């Protein structure tokens, strides 16, 4: 009898064989002749020798659309570097900067430039157009050198594909073609389509400078416009997402988890971002606001947090948000009691805090110490049954949850988030994950026991990945387990997305002693400085420690700390986009670039504004650090795509032998 240990490998081999047979059948149809097969082999083997394309890594966007959009447009400074490479000796620094801003924001910069030049001599604007077209084509030629003509063509605006290719691939130094090129450019101006051509070419350059985007989680919460970030990602040419713990609240809410919904409502009220829910996703909070006004008063512990530049929209908004935050927090704490009781495998009895309060004396015992509670708002809590919602609360929760589940705009975004996302990703020798791998003090993977089974290491994140998809794609009113597991990902002690022993939200509201506010991190965050530990993580996920890296988000890198750890094998790139964290970090966070020459960590100053960029040429100031420099420049052959192309070549050669 075959041992159980070998069965997964047998199934994998069978699946691989089936996939190869399927590919072979497709290729037989696509390349029915010997000549067609030979041509495709030559094409694929040539592609394998092209330089590896650039990957761009960002993390912890937290709704800060403007800063994120700017980072995408400038490729974490990559576009400015390309411009300097091409024009560094031919343009002044200010002209280089203005040319860069044109590529980032072509529509707005064009309008601004036209207003400037229309006050000059008659042909000033026409001359600027001709000069700009020439420079854009020259830059486009430079950034497209690592791609095939076919891939470049796909990145071009179809309306201008022919003329762009003529300008791109015709040598202007050839005497016989010089007047041809000049006339093409003049025709763009005379026919009034110069703006459209410039805009299209700028966006093509943006696309070619960064081939693929990785988003390492936490798109939602704190900032104003996560919905705009989602729209941007949905239109991006190539992207993947690794889920963050904040993202899980929104996935959970749209999957029918009332507890996830209450958490995100509380956070949105705390950071004055309820407009995202109401305006972007069309979910009415009128009944919630009225309920909160009836049952809760002002409370200093629940006043919303404002960051620099934010303000309230109307008189009384601070009080309204304070009341709403109390209302949803109390319902949240009640439903935590219910969920923890329903899920004994979570082993979170110590966090069912409403059960542990002495309501006569307003005290709470935690870890053997008794704390006096302050700023309490417990009028709707029944001391005999603290986890029970009032009938009014129950009706309100059900109504709100129905609105979340039925919001078409929210479902559109979260369907993309789930389908494009995962708990982790192995990509070109690197392991990408938002949070951590839960371990004990010695670095051994902690087990999570659920419904009679035990999961740890890679098994654990695979299990949670499956449960997230199950909860979102197949919600069941009678089965809470998958939705409960999404909430566990938000704050469970063995959650790979949380990475702490407990979330002390209750303590921060009601206990003055800040020692009770501490959230003890999993030993992972200490051990990730250790190269041996990081090597063991890479091996757990089937990656080679000699070439691989672990890329993390989740934790802001504080002022004076290093984002490069474990001899360069662990990289932490919490984007620092959230304005709430910038006083702690002292800067605008990190992004990462990975091109054919190696990995570069990019540190950013905080973003000012789009208007400042267009009018004053302001860019995000960025500092680059080389993480590793490849001894041999990486080619497509060294990538995951290259491995698939090699397999295709192998199949094609077997077909060739049969002709």
DSSP collapsed to 3 states, 81-122: HHHHHHHCCCCCHHHHHHHHHHHHCHHHHHHHHHHHHCCCCC
Query: What is residue 309's predicted lDDT score, i.e. its pLDDT?
Result: 62
516 DSSP assignment: G
Which of 176-185, 328-337, 534-543 shows the lowest mean pLDDT across its residues? 176-185
Long-range Cβ contact pairs of 9-12 (< 8 A, separation 24 or more): none
pLDDT band at 11; cut points 50, 70, 90: very low
Spell 540-549 as b/e; 16+ CB within 10 A means b. Answer: bbebebeebb
Sheet containing 564-565: which strands, arranged edge to edge? Answer: 424-427, 430-433, 549-552, 570-572, 564-565
Secondary structure, 3-state, 526-559 = HHCCCHHHHHHHHHHCCCCCCCCEEEECCCCCCC
pLDDT band at 620; cut points 50, 70, 90: low
- Of the CA atoms within 13 Å of residue 202, those in its CB half-sphere come to 23
Quote the CA–CA distance of 219 and 367 in Å, as a whole number.
Answer: 34
Token output for 156: 């071009």
How many CB atoms neighbour CB 359 within 10 A? 15
Which of 352-361, 431-440, 644-653 shows the lowest mean pLDDT across its residues? 644-653
pLDDT band at 316; cut points 50, 70, 90: confident
Query: What is residue 313's predicted lDDT score, i.e. its pLDDT?
Result: 73
At residue 295, does pLDDT exceed 70? yes
Report helix angle 93-104 to 194-209, nearest 10: 90
Query: What is residue 104's predicted lDDT score, i.e. its pLDDT?
Result: 95
Q: Where are the domains of the chain?
A: 4-50+640-658, 93-209, 245-419+441-515
At residue 583, does pLDDT exceed 60? no
Average pLDDT over all residues of the chain: 90
Query: What is residue 181's predicted lDDT score, i.e. its pLDDT?
Result: 87
* Contact of 211 with 238, CB cutoff 8 Å: yes
Over residues 588-601, mean pLDDT: 90
Over residues 391-397, mean pLDDT: 98
Of the ranges 83-97, 119-133, 385-399, the best mean pLDDT one: 385-399
Token output for 124: 């000033």
Beta bridge partners of 370: 365
How many CB atoms neighbour CB 11 within 10 A? 10
Question: Is the Cα dihedral 560, 429, 591, 58 positive or negative?
Answer: negative
Over residues 62-72, mean pLDDT: 93
Long-range Cβ contact pairs of 274-278 (< 8 A, separation 24 or more): 274/321, 274/324, 275/224, 276/63, 276/224, 276/225, 276/226, 276/227
Quote the CA–CA distance of 130 and 353 in Å, as a whole number.
Answer: 69
Quote the CA–CA distance of 483 and 490 in Å, as a whole number.
Answer: 11
Query: What is residue 6's predicted lDDT score, i.e. its pLDDT?
Result: 42
* Contact of 249 with 200, CB cutoff 8 Å: no
* Contact of 550 with 433, CB cutoff 8 Å: yes
* Contact of 434 with 218, CB cutoff 8 Å: yes
Token output for 267: 């956070």
How many CB atoms neighbour CB 460 within 10 A? 22
Token output for 292: 């909160």
Over residues 268-280, mean pLDDT: 95
What's the count of helices (H) and strands (E) in the chain, helices before strands? Answer: 27, 17
Query: What is residue 454's predicted lDDT score, i.e. its pLDDT?
Result: 97
* Contact of 167 with 181, CB cutoff 8 Å: yes
pLDDT in tens, 214-246: 999 999 988 889 999 999 999 999 999 999 999
Token output for 514: 């800040």
Query: What is residue 478's predicted lDDT score, i.e. its pLDDT?
Result: 59
Q: Model pTM greater than 0.85?
A: yes
């Amino acid at each position: 009898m075959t041992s159980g240990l070998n069965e997964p490998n047998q199934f994998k081999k069978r699946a691989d064989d089936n996939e190869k047979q399927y590919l072979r059948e497709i290729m037989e149809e696509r390349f029915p002749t010997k000549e067609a097969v030979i041509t495709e082999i030559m094409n694929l083997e040539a592609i394998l020798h092209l330089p590896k394309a650039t990957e761009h890594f960002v993390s912890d966007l937290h709704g800060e659309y403007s800063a994120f959009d700017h980072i995408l447009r400038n490729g974490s400074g990559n576009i400015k570097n390309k411009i300097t490479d091409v024009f560094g000796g031919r343009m002044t620094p200010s002209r280089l900067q203005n040319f860069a801003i044109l590529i980032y924001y072509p529509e707005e910069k064009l309008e601004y430039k036209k207003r400037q030049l229309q006050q000059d001599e008659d042909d000033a604007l026409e001359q600027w157009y001709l000069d700009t077209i020439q420079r854009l084509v020259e830059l486009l030629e430079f950034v497209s050198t690592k791609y095939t003509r076919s891939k470049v063509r796909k990145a071009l605006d179809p309306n201008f594909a022919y003329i762009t290719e003529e300008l791109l691939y015709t040598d202007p130094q050839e005497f016989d073609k010089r007047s041809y090129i000049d006339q093409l450019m003049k025709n763009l101006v005379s026919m009034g389509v110069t703006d459209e051509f410039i805009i299209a070419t700028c966006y093509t350059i943006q696309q070619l400078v960064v081939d693929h985007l990785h988003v390492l989680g936490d798109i939602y919460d704190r900032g104003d416009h996560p919905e705009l970030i989602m729209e941007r990602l949905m239109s991006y040419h190539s992207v993947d997402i690794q889920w963050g713990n904040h993202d899980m609240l929104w996935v959970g809410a749209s999957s029918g988890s009332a507890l996830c919904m209450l958490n995100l409502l509380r956070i949105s009220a705390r950071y004055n971002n309820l407009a995202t829910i109401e305006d972007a996703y069309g979910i009415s909070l009128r009944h919630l606001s009225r309920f909160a006004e009836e049952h809760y008063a002002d409370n200093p512990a629940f006043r919303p947090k404002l960051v620099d530049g934010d303000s309230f929209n109307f008189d009384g908004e601070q009080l309204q948000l304070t009341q709403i935050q109390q209302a949803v927090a109390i319902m949240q704490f009640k439903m935590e009691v219910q969920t923890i009781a329903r899920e004994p495998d979570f082993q979170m009895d110590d966090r069912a805090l409403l059960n542990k309060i002495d309501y006569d004396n307003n005290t709470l015992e935690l870890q053997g110490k008794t704390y006096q509670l302050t700023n309490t708002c417990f009028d709707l809590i029944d001391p005999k049954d603290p986890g029970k919602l009032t009938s009014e609360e129950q009706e309100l929760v059900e109504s709100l949850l129905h609105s979340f589940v039925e919001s078409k705009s929210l479902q559109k975004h979260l369907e993309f988030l789930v389908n494009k996302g995962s708990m982790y990703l192995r990509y070109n020798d690197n392991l990408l994950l938002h949070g951590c791998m839960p371990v004990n003090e010695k670095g051994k993977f902690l087990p999570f026991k659920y419904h009679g089974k035990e999961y740890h290491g890679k098994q654990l994140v695979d299990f949670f990945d499956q449960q997230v998809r199950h909860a979102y794609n197949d919600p069941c009113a009678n089965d809470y387990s998958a939705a409960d597991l999404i909430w566990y990902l938000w704050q469970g002690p063995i959650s790979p997305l949380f990475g702490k022993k407990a979330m002390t939200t209750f303590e921060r509201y009601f206990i003055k002693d800040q020692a009770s506010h501490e959230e003890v991190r999993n030993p992972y965050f200490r051990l990730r400085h250790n190269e041996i530990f990081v090597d063991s993580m890479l091996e757990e996920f089937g990656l080679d420690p000699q070439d691989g890296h672990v890329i993390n988000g989740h934790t802001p890198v504080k002022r004076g700390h290093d984002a490069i750890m474990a001899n360069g094998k662990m990289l932490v790139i919490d984007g620092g986009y959230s304005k709430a964290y910038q006083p702690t970090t002292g800067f605008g966070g990190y992004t990462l670039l990975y091109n054919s020459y190696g990995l570069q960590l990019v540190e950013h100053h905080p973003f000012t504004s789009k208007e400042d960029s267009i009018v004053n040429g302001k860019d995000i100031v960025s500092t680059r650090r080389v993480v590793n420099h490849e001894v041999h420049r990486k080619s497509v052959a060294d990538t995951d795509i290259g491995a698939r192309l090699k397999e295709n070549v192998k199949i094609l050669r077997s077909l060739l032998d049969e002709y």
